[in-house]
Amino acid sequence: MSSRTDSRANIAVDGPAGAGKSTAAKLLAERLGFDYIDTGAMYRALTWKAVQEKVDVHNEQELERLLQEMKLVMKPAGGEIDIFADDRRITEEVRSSEVTNQVSYTAAHQKIRSGMVEKQKRMASGGGCVMDGRDIGTAVLPDASFKFFLTAEVEERARRRHLEQLDKGIESDLETLKEEIASRDKLDSERETAPLRKASDAVEIDTTSMSLEEVVEKMYKIITKRVNDYE
Ligand code: DC
């Protein structure tokens, strides 16, 4: 970010699965010289742990125990974020379909959410973070200096995931992805605790027909314009 911008600012990026949040948030963070925090990866890491320990993701109490016991570390590594659970690198494992298909259940528990939100608030307490998730603008960082809510049509989100998977050499079926995304949307927006919703003061960007670069540019312009307007 330009030297004129408050480096203590935090930026919240929310939206449904596959709207391009994480890549856009990561690039925005790089451009601003901020830290990038992927909160979805935290729920995924806990889900991965549950799978390992054969804990049912519907069992809130057992999940809470795992969350308390688990050492969860996120480390920047060459433009990406490496995720470690109890010192084991699980960056790729947290993206497996086994984890992806269960993570919405993990994220629906009230106690799990409050434990995660507390960690996330701590991670952002020094400012200078771009944090992406579902409840960042509403629950984790309600006072964030900038809030964005990225959306895109389901078909487009599925198409992006599909290309991403193929690119990584992961087997992928577009129709299945569409169904999975629609089902996760439903679970994430209808859950009782902190459902996915746009903060009233967030800027909504429909990314359906935008390139990643255009999305990042738009966010960057909004931030720098507002900062410059204040000066
Ligand atoms: O962004 P993602 O696909 O990695 O998120 C994984 C899951 O975690 C998704 O089902 C929504 C949930 N999540 C959440 O409830 N709150 C967050 N702040 C981040 C993710």
**Residue 109 in contact with ligand 1 by CB distance below 6 A:** no
> What pLDDT, on the 0 to 100 scale, is given for residue 98?
93
For residue 97, the domain's CATH number is 3.40.50.300
Residue 206 lies in a domain: yes
Residue 60 lies in a domain: yes
Please list the residues that pair with 88 across neighbouring strands. 85
161-166 contacts at long range (C-beta below 8 A, 24 or more positions apart): 161/18
Identify which of 43, 114, 160, 185 to mutate to test ligand 1's pocket (most ligand atoms within 8 A of the CB): 43
CA of 3 to the centre of ligand 1 (A): 32
> What pLDDT, on the 0 to 100 scale, is given for residue 193?
81
pTM for this one? 0.90
pLDDT truncated to tens, each residue of the chain (231 aa)?
A: 444 455 589 999 999 988 889 899 999 999 999 999 999 999 999 999 999 999 999 999 999 999 999 999 988 777 778 999 999 999 999 988 899 989 999 999 999 999 999 999 999 999 999 999 999 999 999 999 999 999 999 999 999 989 988 988 888 899 999 999 998 888 888 888 878 889 999 999 999 999 999 999 999 999 998 777 766
Residue 41 lies in a domain: yes
Three-state SS for 96?
A: coil
Domain of 28 in residue numbering reads as: 4-226
> What pLDDT, on the 0 to 100 scale, is given for residue 170?
82
Residue 231 lies in a domain: no
Encoding tokens for residue 49? 């742990």
Structurally, the chain folds into a number of domains equal to 1
**Which residue's C-alpha comes closest to atom 16 of ligand 1?**
134
CA of 167 to the centre of ligand 1 (A): 22
Give 49-94 as a DSSP string: HHHHTT--TT-HHHHHHHHHH--EEEEEETTEEEEEETTEE-TTGG
**Residue 195 in contact with ligand 1 by CB distance below 6 A:** no
CA of 20 to the centre of ligand 1 (A): 13
Residue 79 lies in a domain: yes
Q: 229 and 146 in contact (C-beta within 8 Å)?
A: no
Q: What are the Cα distances from residue 198, in Å, to 29, 125, 166, 186, 189?
A: 21, 22, 31, 15, 10
Rounded Cα distance, 172 and 181, in Å: 13
